[in-house]
Amino acid sequence: MAMFKAQYEQRGPVPQDVIRAVPLELPPPAAGQALVAMLASPINPSNLLTLTGEYGVLPPLPAIGGSEGVGRIAELGQDVSGLSVGQLVLLPRGSGTWVTHLLAEASALVPLPEAADPLQLAMLTVNPPTAALMLSEFVPLASGDWVIQNVANSGVGGYLMQLARRRGLRTVNLVRRESAVAATKAQGGDVVLVDGEGLAQRVREATGGAEIRLGIDAVGGSATDRLAQCLSEGGTLVNYGMMSGEPCRVAPSSLIFRGITLRGFWLVKWFREASRDAQRALYGELAQMVASGVLHARVHATFPVQKIREAVAAANGGERDGKILVTGGAA
């Protein structure tokens, strides 16, 4: 059985240039372990930043890419109960998931419903909780309230729209190109606009001048300031990404005279601070919604581990409509 891993031995400005597929050798699972055949693992912006060296936590080199996914148990070591060969499971968070196979502690594997789409389940660990927590942790919101976000056609953006609608919230969704408007509206966005000049005025016109107390920013740079100008007095702006590669910029007039607050969100930090009960409750709720199809994300393309450079290049490109996933070949 040929096994492969997507490994990088250095970091650099072009992520697809530093990673390659190489043969993988694994011993049989030891007591308490499971050998898992990887089914699917997404490429998230945080994965790309890890390859370029710009992420908040960097693994020692050499390292294997990937931080979430799903697989099927191929073999169990001794002293494992509650799991069976062939079972669909969620892979441990941050475990180097761009592989055809991996060894994991059986206790870290979470059984998943067989009827669900494994591609959708593969994206459960990072983007859905990011969207859910940004909607709940910063501003108390009630049904009918408005939220504004940029990069609304991203994975997090799509989940945020769907979760907001389930909670009775309304969303203003910004995209960077006209070609992304229709697909974003189809995902449930109440208002979809192309980010750019005159944004605050266009948002006021589209919402009838509604109060917007929460803004979600994944871009940084001048895009942060455009979002700030759309918020009501005393509003909160939450940044969780730096797609522009630039620091967040907010005009002093927004901070001083309008009381806008700029906050940051990092899912890793939430994991460090949240109780196990809180984590289980959140993931239990989200897993049910993903498994039932209530929450879903668009998939642009899939690539086998052996074509990891093509996969990373596609994820790093701007013109795509959905997530890129790495597949391991398991059935």
Angle at 167 between CA 166 and CA 169, to 5 degrees: 105
The pLDDT assigned to 142 comes to 96
Lookup result for tokens 């393309």: 301
SS3 51: helix
What residues contact 31, with CB distance under 8 A and at least 6 apart?
77, 78, 79, 80
Rounded Cα gap, residues 82 and 298, in angstroms: 33
- The pLDDT tens digits for 209-258 are 999 999 999 999 999 999 999 999 999 999 999 888 899 999 999 999 99
Domains of the chain: 4-123+298-327 (3.90.180.10), 127-268 (3.40.50.720)
Known catalytic residues?
A: 55
Rounded Cα gap, residues 130 and 113, in angstroms: 22
Rounded Cα gap, residues 327 and 331, in angstroms: 10
Rounded Cα gap, residues 100 and 279, in angstroms: 28
Length of the chain: 331
The structure's pTM equals: 0.90
Rounded Cα gap, residues 28 and 35, in angstroms: 7
291: its two tokens: 């498994």
Angle at 242 between CA 140 and CA 9, to 5 degrees: 130
The pLDDT assigned to 220 comes to 95
The pLDDT assigned to 320 comes to 78
Q: Is the peptide bond before 118 cis (omega within 30 degrees of 0)?
A: no
- CA distances in angstroms from 259 to 136, 211, 234, 237, 314, listed in the order given: 20, 14, 5, 11, 40
- The pLDDT tens digits for 152-167 are 999 999 999 999 999 9
Low-confidence ranges of the chain (pLDDT < 70): 329-331
CA 322 to chain centre: 12
Rounded Cα gap, residues 288 and 277, in angstroms: 17
- The pLDDT tens digits for 8-33 are 999 999 999 999 999 999 999 999 99
- CA distances in angstroms from 298 to 167, 301, 320, 322, listed in the order given: 21, 9, 10, 5
